[in-house]
Amino acid sequence: MQTETQTGKLTVSTRSSRGKGAARQLRTQGLTPGVVYGGTDSDPRPIPIAFDPTALLKSLHPTKKRNTVFEMTIEGGNAPQTELVMLKDFQTDELRGGWIHADFIRVSNNVAIDAQVPLLMEGRAPGVKMGGTLHQVFRKLPVRCIPSAIPECIIANVDGMEIGSTLAVRDLPVPEGVTISLPEQQTCVQLYAPRKMDEALASTADGEGEAEADAAAAKSEG
């Protein structure tokens, strides 16, 4: 079976044999069984395939990884067919390593899909210089867009963040055609005050509360 090692290109072959024995035999040949799901209305059947896991790893986009859109050439039928697919799920051998199975899903650049995209922080927050701590609420963000528009990442710029400030979904820049699937007011990054400052503020608040209570008591006694 020929294999493509270009980013986003993968050549696989169809397989007719099923079961653990057949899968084991494939692995002895350096191949991994898989299935392509999401057929068209005219042909909704899943396609059992075999692929070279090394070629798959090489064809993954270096930063998009599982969000890579593959142009998959499927050989073994009457004529090779090309499908636009993404990696849906995979299994690896926890003891020996290596791939056991992989599922792919057909996609179309005319139909939006859901994906998870890394959220990265960029810049220097003034609040950190004052002893504050940046807290990233989400490591990945759910987005919806057509497959070719899935961004490599979303950047949260923290340059203007002071102690107590936050960045919400509405504050994050996203490419045209991409929507973050969270409420606009959802906090994504926040800058906590130093513990000593928190304790001092709490102590001040407690003192003010006690003073107000004493004043109210004195007034009622008078």
Domain membership of residue 135 as a residue range:
113-197
Amino acid 3: pLDDT: 42
Same domain, 19 and 97: yes
What are the structure tokens assigned to 50, written together?
């075999």
**Inside any domain, residue 214:** no
Same domain, 29 and 77: yes
**Among 26-40, 97-111, 138-152, which stretch is predicted with the lowest mean pLDDT?**
26-40
**Among 31-45, 90-104, 167-181, which stretch is predicted with the lowest mean pLDDT?**
31-45
201 confidence band (pLDDT: 50, 70, 90): very low
**Inside any domain, residue 218:** no
Closest C-alpha to 52, from 115, 95, 98, 93: 98
CB within 8 Å of 126: residues ≥ 6 apart: 160, 161, 162
Tell me if 74 sits within 8 A of 4, measured CB to CB: no
137-166 mean pLDDT: 96
Which pTM value belongs to this model?
A: 0.77
**Inside any domain, residue 1:** no
Same domain, 90 and 13: yes
pLDDT digits (tens, 9 = 90+) for 154-188: 999 999 899 999 999 999 999 999 999 999 999 99
Most confident of 59-63, 106-110, 139-143, 197-201: 139-143
Amino acid 1: pLDDT: 42
Same domain, 61 and 23: yes
Give the HSE-up count for residue 148: Cα atoms under 13 Å, Cβ half-sphere: 6
Q: Which of 106, 130, 163 is the last residue of a domain?
A: 106
Amino acid 112: pLDDT: 96
Same domain, 161 and 185: yes
**Inside any domain, residue 123:** yes
**Among 22-26, 53-57, 108-112, 180-184, which stretch is predicted with the lowest mean pLDDT?**
22-26
Amino acid 106: pLDDT: 94
Same domain, 162 and 91: no
**Inside any domain, residue 204:** no
Supply the DSSP string of 152-196, one letter for each residue: S-EEEE-TTPPTT-EEEGGGS---TT-EESS-TT-EEEEEEPPHH
Average pLDDT score over the chain: 85
**Inside any domain, residue 28:** yes
Q: Which of 81, 106, 131 is the last residue of a domain?
A: 106
**Among 31-45, 47-61, 203-217, which stretch is predicted with the lowest mean pLDDT?**
203-217
Percent of the chain at pLDDT exceeding 70? 81
Domains in the chain, number = 2
CATH number, position 62: 2.40.240.10
**Inside any domain, residue 59:** yes
78 confidence band (pLDDT: 50, 70, 90): confident
Same domain, 65 and 136: no
